[in-house]
Chains A and B, each alone.
Chain A
Amino acid sequence: MIQLQNVNKVFTDTNHNNFQALKDISLAISPNECVLLHGSSGSGKTTLLHIIASLMKPSSGLVEVKGENIVSLSDYHASAYRRSTIGYVTQSFYLLDNLSVEENLLPALVLESLSEKEMAQKIKKALSLANIEHKAKQKVSTLSGGEKQRCIIARAIVNDAEIVLCDEPTANLDKKNSLFFLGLIQNLKNLRKTILIATHDPIFEKLECVDKVYNLEGGSLE
């Protein structure tokens, strides 16, 4: 499903200082696998997720998703790929606070040519999967941290993405909500999604459905 070969990423800041965020990363993820990417903050987890989501290009190396090299895609095609294949679970900060829960799913839907009815159906399905259906009309700013995170998940899966990428999903959650999140991951796995979770939260050790664990330290896999 996802295959990385010798992926490097070098950032150059304004003073021409180079910083190597990823060093020679090679990994392979099969369909319906749940993979944990462990690492402290600044270890390059987010960069790796961005590269897989084609939000960023590696400095060198090969990234294949579903047999296609996504590295050479233009922004137009990269976005289309992201829209159709990737569900990106960001931190709960990335929600539009003044809109309601269901309105927050719109950005993922309005680019497709959907009728009102189809849109409503998709929203309903995603919200019920993420177990936030009962708060559909509520403003995001009034939600608790856990509810916000579920809203993010609903947004990530509303387009029936096959691959779900999670970037520090439990960073702002308490223990109870984190455990609830693990349950949701289990559900996604049952829906035959491919899941990649980048985290430094030890709570994921309790997650039973994990197939593989990678440790990322200082930009290289251990």
Chain B
Amino acid sequence: MSMLSRLNFLLLLLLNYKKRYIATFLLSSGLIAILASVLFLSSSIQEELMSTLENQADFTVQHYKSGHLLNTPEKWVEEYLDIPGVSKVQGRIYGTHYYEPKEQHFMLVGLDMYDVQIVKGMQKLINTLDIEKFLERKNMIIGSGVKDFFDKYHYRKYYIFRPPDRTKEKVYIYKEFPKGSDLLTNDMIVMDMPLARKILGIEKGYVSDIVIELSNPDEYQKVYEKLIVSHFDTRIITKKDIAKHYTKLFNYKGGVFMALYIFAIVTFLLLLYQRYSMVESLDLKEIVILRSTGWSIEQIISFKLVENFIVVLSAYLIGVILAYIYVFFLDAPLLRDIFLGSANLSIHPQFMPYIKPLDLLILFGIFVLPFLLAVVIPVWKLCVKDMSEMIR
């Protein structure tokens, strides 16, 4: 009861003396909003990459010789099929198409439309197609970044590729990739396999690389070893490699921002410390009132700490809400360029609302708790002042 009425009184004070906290509140919620945006954005991107990872093949075998990536012999497909535990092997055709005048490149992917795709994302795409109609003439499906690019240079219906054999290939735009898969498909062009092979200039009997699927994930290690010994001029990429790469990448980016956070927070705490070191007359007055009406020093210290806690907690909540709006409704203008800076085509991702509880916890820990610690000593100093000193 007394706890509740004390809290009531505290809220009364906070609401009637807003001016005293407005600077702290605005600064903190602004800082929280920035930090939260960074965390939300990186988690959302990571989550999207990880979810596309689910659709990847268990192993990808590339032909590597003297440090150069070569096309992979198609006959290996049969060899790999003989390894026990392997359920499906597929050669893939893909490569980059370089658009010289603007120094842009696209990812060109050729698919065998009648085969079942190991890469499940592609399978989903094919499932949405009327294959007969798609194959009627030379058609392609393009990512949204490619679409923007084509629109800009007036390739509204078709685009003319120039394969290495000096011919021309006029390919019609069949449709755009469905929304929501922006991050990976942004600069992608999908077409029928023989056409892609021609444009990329990959000879018969060769593929870009080979993807392998397992029937039982537990066989992973054994199959991996077999793959290693079957050919020595290969590089084998596992699904786990990719996952680890993504995690590391985002931890690294997170780490950079961590340094930023700490910098920002230290600055902020210094500001705060200063506010309390320069004792305000209102604080002193308040303490004299509380002391003379029978509050113990400990009660006043707790009161003051809770006061700070409420201010910073509400700043935290407001900051998180602002960040949520910024990232998931406004799609994080400016900030996304930092994260997706490597994309060579303009990208308009729509970030999936995805928040890790751990992120919220980290944010709480990085801001609210150090704040509370920082005010402990100044608040204590203020509260244990002698009455005679305070009145003068």
Contact = CB atoms under 8 A, between A and B. Distances in A.
B6 interface: yes
B338 interface: no
Nearest to A165: B292
B386 interface: yes
Contacts of A113: 1-2
Interface stretch (A49-57, A64-72, A195-203): A49-57
A108 B387 contact: no
Given A90-B288, A94-B292, A111 B298 contact: no
Interface residues of A, number: 38
A139 to B, nearest CB: 9
A46 interface: yes
Interface stretch (A77-85, A122-130, A207-215): A77-85
A27 interface: no
A114 B295 contact: no
Interface in A72-131: 75-76, 78-80, 82-84, 86, 88, 90, 93-96, 98-99, 103, 106-115, 119
A78 B296 CA distance: 8
Given A53-B292, A83-B293, A109 B298 contact: no
B286 interface: yes
Given A94-B288, A111-B2, A111-B294, A46 B391 contact: yes
B299 interface: yes
Contacts of A109: 5
Interface in B266-293: 285-286, 288-293
Interface in A21-61: 46-47, 50, 53, 55-56
A212 B288 CA distance: 29
B13 interface: yes
A90 B296 contact: no
Contact of A111 (B6, B285, B297): B6
A115 B8 CA distance: 13
B16 A55 contact: no
Q: Report, nearest first, the 6 A-B pairs whose CB atoms are least far apart.
A: A83-B294, A79-B296, A98-B16, A108-B293, A88-B292, A110-B5
7 contacts: A75-B296, A78-B296, A82-B294, A83-B293, A106-B12, A109-B5, A111-B2
Interface of A: 11, 46-47, 50, 53, 55-56, 75-76, 78-80, 82-84, 86, 88, 90, 93-96, 98-99, 103, 106-115, 119, 155, 159
